[in-house]
């Protein structure tokens, strides 16, 4: 049955390798998985989950719009036969990954990265509130450790990741009484296409040898955060980066 048996999970950003690995882990833990985003790009992953005999559906929606997400969550519940209980937000506007010297960042780029990321994060949280309130729901944001380390050429991206991390903490504080927990999973920077190795922002080599695999190393951590066993954790950031950052 698995730790998430019978649950419905929504995940954004599963068209990227990191989100894909997390989605596969959620499915293998027994959750029905709704992949929200560009349904065409998500079709191969839906097929992969189905080939493993997992319940999965791709739902077309713009991640930056609350109403669109609320409809997508409703579709997920209908298609997968139960209310959405788990939301994993890994989507980031693709432009956010581009490494650009600060002097060459213009207003359009700042807007696309900072506002684009934060608007989506807020919309995901608000849609989650609508669907999870009172249900013991779980929200997990994926915020690479660059949010805490900073990185040259990635000022707007680091700001957006740290903005997301603190949005999660505020939501955790405010929505505890509503039965919703909100946590962050912080993988090593190698998991996103920003061209940053851990060794660029930390002297310490990864204690466990490397950044790990999205599905088999990070997957179990997101499954734990989404499970009943994590019911007393909220507002936390779990650095699953192979033992580099070791925060807090």
Partner 1 sequence: MTADAPLAGRTAIVTGAGQGVGRGIAAALARRGARVVLAARRAETGEPAAQEIRDRGGDARCIVTDITRREDVERCVASTVEHYGGLEIMVHNAFQGGRLHRLEDVDAALWATNSRTAVWGSYYSARFAAPHLRRAGTRGRLLLITSPAGVEGSVNIPVYAPVKAAQRAIAKSLAREWGPHGITVNCVAPVAETPALAGAFAANPVLKERVEARTALGRVGDAERDVGAVAAFLASDDASYVTGQTIVCDGGSFLGL
Binding site residues, partner 1, CB under 8 A: 101-103, 105, 107, 110, 114-115, 118-119, 122, 125-126, 129-130, 147-156, 158-175, 201, 235, 248
The SS3 assignment for 89 reads strand
- The region, left, alpha or beta by phi > 0 then psi within -120 to 50, assigned to residue 33 is beta
Residue 167 CB, nearest approach to partner 1 (Å): 4
Q: Which one, 31 or 225, has the nearer CB to partner 1?
A: 225
Cβ proximity to partner 1, 55 vs 131, nearer residue: 131
Torsion sign, CA atoms 73, 228, 14, 47: negative
Looking at beta carbons only, is 124 or 230 nearer to partner 1?
124
Residue 14 half-sphere exposure toward CB, CA atoms < 13 A = 38
Integer Cα distance of 54 and 27 in angstroms: 6
Q: How far is the CB of 179 from partner 1 (least distance, A)?
A: 14
CB of 67 to partner 1, least distance (A): 13
Nearer to partner 1, 72 or 121 (CB): 121
At its nearest, how many Å lie between partner 1 and the CB of residue 115? 7
Residue showing tokens 């957006």: 160
SS3 content of the chain, % helix, strand, coil (to 5): 50, 15, 35
- Closest to partner 1 by CB, 73 vs 129, is 129
Dist CA 82 CA 187 (whole Å): 30
As measured in angstroms, the least distance from the Cβ of 150 to partner 1 is: 3
């Amino acid at each position: 049955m698995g730790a998430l048996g019978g649950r419905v999970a929504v995940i954004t950003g599963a068209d990227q390798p990191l989100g894909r690995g997390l989605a596969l882990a959620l499915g293998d833990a027994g959750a029905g998985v709704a992949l929200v985003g560009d349904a065409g790009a998500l079709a191969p992953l839906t097929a992969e989950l189905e080939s493993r005999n997992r319940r999965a559906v791709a739902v077309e929606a713009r991640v930056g719009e609350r109403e669109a997400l609320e409809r997508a969550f409703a579709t997920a519940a209908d298609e997968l036969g139960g209310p959405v209980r788990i939301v994993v937000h890994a989507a980031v506007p693709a432009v956010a990954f581009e490494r650009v010297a600060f002097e060459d960042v213009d207003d359009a780029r700042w807007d696309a990265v900072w506002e684009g990321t934060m608007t989506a994060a807020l919309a995901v949280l608000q849609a989650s509130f609508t669907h999870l309130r009172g249900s013991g729901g779980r929200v997990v944001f994926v915020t690479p450790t660059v949010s805490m380390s900073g990185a040259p050429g990635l000022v707007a991206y680091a700001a957006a990741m740290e903005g997301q991390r603190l949005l999660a903490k505020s939501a955790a504080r405010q929505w505890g009484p509503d039965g919703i927990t909100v946590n962050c999973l912080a993988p090593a920077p190698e998991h996103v296409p920003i061209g940053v190795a851990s060794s660029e922002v930390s002297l310490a080599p990864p204690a466990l040898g490397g950044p790990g695999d999205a599905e088999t190393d990070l997957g179990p951590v997101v499954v734990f955060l989404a499970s009943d066993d994590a019911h007393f954790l909220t507002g936390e950031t779990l650095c699953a980066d192979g033992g580099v950052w070791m925060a807090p």
